[in-house]
Amino acid sequence: MERMEEASIGTQSLYMWYVPRGLLECICLFQLGEEERAAASCEEAVELLEREIASNPHDARLHVANGHAFALLGRKEEAVRAGERAVELVPISEDALNGPLQVIELAKIYSRIGERDEALRLIDELLSIPCDLSVGMLRLDPVWDPLRDHPRFQALLEKYDTATE
């Protein structure tokens, strides 16, 4: 966290990602177990994102970021609604490259809020199509930690692990 406080990071805005500093801090603090500080950063992120969404309601990146902030705050319904909105804005049926990215983020939101069955359903769908989700990422990214001990998660890793063939 010290490095983050020293950094002049504002909002990270790329073609398919929008991560305000408050959300980045929230994720880091949450991983460090500092839930009270994490919540304050997430609230800050939600305020910023709500303003941005009011100006740019069709920007899926904003909805995804808001979904993650809501998830970390324990606001499950709002988190899912935001993630689903992003998927609606960039559906796989219309954008085979960027559509799956929104579904990956929705699966992450489900993982964060403890909706393991929904997360696993989406992971199974995603691993069956060409996209940026891989067995390697599932094994490494801490966002998937809530799923690690689930037998279906382990079965999916085994089913789609091409490195063992």
End-to-end CA distance of the chain: 41
Output the DSSP codes for 95-128. Answer: -TTTHHHHHHHHHHHHHHHT-HHHHHHHHHHHHT
Q: In whole angstroms, what is the distance from residue 59 CA to residue 18 CA?
A: 10
Query: pLDDT of 32-52, one tens digit each?
Result: 999 999 999 999 999 999 999
Query: 86, 64 in Cβ contact below 8 A?
Result: yes
In angstroms, the CA 24 to CA 12 distance is 9
The predicted-structure confidence for 62-117, as pLDDT tens digits, reads as follows 999 999 999 999 999 999 999 999 999 999 999 999 999 999 999 999 999 999 99
CA distance 108 to 95: 20
Domains, in order of start, for the chain: 1-89 (1.25.40), 96-165 (no CATH)
Instruction: Say whether pTM exceeds 0.85.
Output: yes
Percent of the chain scoring above 90 in pLDDT: 84
